[in-house]
Structure 1
Amino acid sequence: MRKLLLLIVVLLAWTVSGQNNGEYVVFENVIITPNPAKMGDFKKHMADHNKKYHADDVYGCRVYAIVTGPNTGKYVWSMGPIPWSSVDSRPAQGGHDEHWNNMVMPTLLPMANATYWRSHPELSNFPNDFKLDKLRLTYYDIKRGWGNFDKIKAIVAKITKMNKEKYPNEVYGIYTNEFGSTKEGKDIVFVDFFENSAKLGEQDDNWISNYDEVNGAGSFERDVKTWHELTNGSERELWILAPELSGRTAEVKVN
């Protein structure tokens, strides 16, 4: 599967996210920047806040350090999976808002970026229990145009079909931006979950032949061409879980 990233520059959760009473689920991700002069206070108050108010299954959150790219040094506060119907009833009582506003906010620089990512379990693969310890994310910018998004999803479905047949134990998630912008260019993301950084160096010389075997001779070359025609490029990041700041642990139970 990882040969995909090297050969096709195509799609690279967090958790197992399915339907909830007919609703789809999203992840709320907020990129925050600690004030370097208040790093100790940031870690203390962020940990206190999340472990008190964001430790349950619905409103639980994890905090990740971004360690590559232009956002290096920043953190991602990630809550979910959560259905949209539960977003409005997030914790607001018991001092939640006061603690965030009075204790956490003063430790941050005045810059943030919030996004909501829809989970696509039909395009993802969660065969086993796993850990949300290290995340490799590849974002893609889909060109404007009627039907482009559906064409991209059709290619992703082929990738998923091949992976489930040839690499059934690979764990990854596909997510789409609910409020994407042409300026930011992050429309769809492939999230690869792993525990050991040695995974980053793995290659698979059989990926292309496996893709063609499952999807038909010549399908790889055709789909690569289509993919490049429909996208403007990609951006990659590596996130590392900060368990001491998080309300939930890294473990995810599939069943």
Structure 2
Amino acid sequence: MPVYFFALSQVNHINWYSAALVFVILHLLVYPASNGYNSYMDRDTSPVGGIKNPLQPTKQLFIVTVCMDITAVVLSFFVSGLFAIGILLYILASRAYSYRKIRLKKYPVTGYLTVIIFQGAVTFFLVYHGADSNHATNVPVISMVASSLLIGGFYPLTQIYQHEEDVNDGVKTISYKLGYKGTFIFTGIIYAFAFCALGLQFFLNLEWTRFFILQIFMIPVLVYFFIWFRKVLKNNSEADFKNTMQMNVLASICTNLGFITILILHLIE
């Protein structure tokens, strides 16, 4: 969702019908179907995502995810043909990430790159293109890179409490490879690059004020990040489900509010 609002804030002439349809396709169909399919393949018994005690998935879940994917692709043609192709590629990448016979997620680097490219740069492109009144294809590359880096900086933290569960399932995530301390350091470095990219994009557009506004919204996230990192340095058991979900919720709220504020400023100009 932060990538959606970031992309929307960069569109000069928004087609609100298309923007709303893009939101529905991504957030009510594609993302939930992707998570559902991943759960069907993983069959987690320990906490995953935002669920502490997940129920075992059934065949019905698989059928529902397929129906949601088909619906998403069909609706995407009402935005544009290019958007529909992009959504189809996103779905295929998501399936390749989870599907047992391909299972990109078991490869730390390949899995990581798949996630950050499609949830970051590709999603930014699709939202920008889909919401633009003329369905522009000259999407700002720096913003696409920044989107991938934002996802790339956060994603390893979502894996940090699942090391044992993942290894038992034959999956070695980038967080597992980095270790607890390494995950935090890596996340901090990628986030720094992300905000450098964001700063460059805003400065090129002479939007310094908006960039600093975004920094203000990110202060609570940084404070929690360093407090949590300090706890993990003292005791690895602090890299648990509860702390991960608190970080997840805080980062989501602050990032969304930051980009929504920037979008509002963009609209009232």
- TM-score strictly above 0.5: no
TM-score between the two structures when normalised by the length of structure 1: 0.27
TM-score between the two structures when normalised by the length of structure 2: 0.26
| Higher strand proportion | 1
| Higher helix proportion | 2
Higher RCO (CA 8 Å, separation ≥ 6 residues): 1
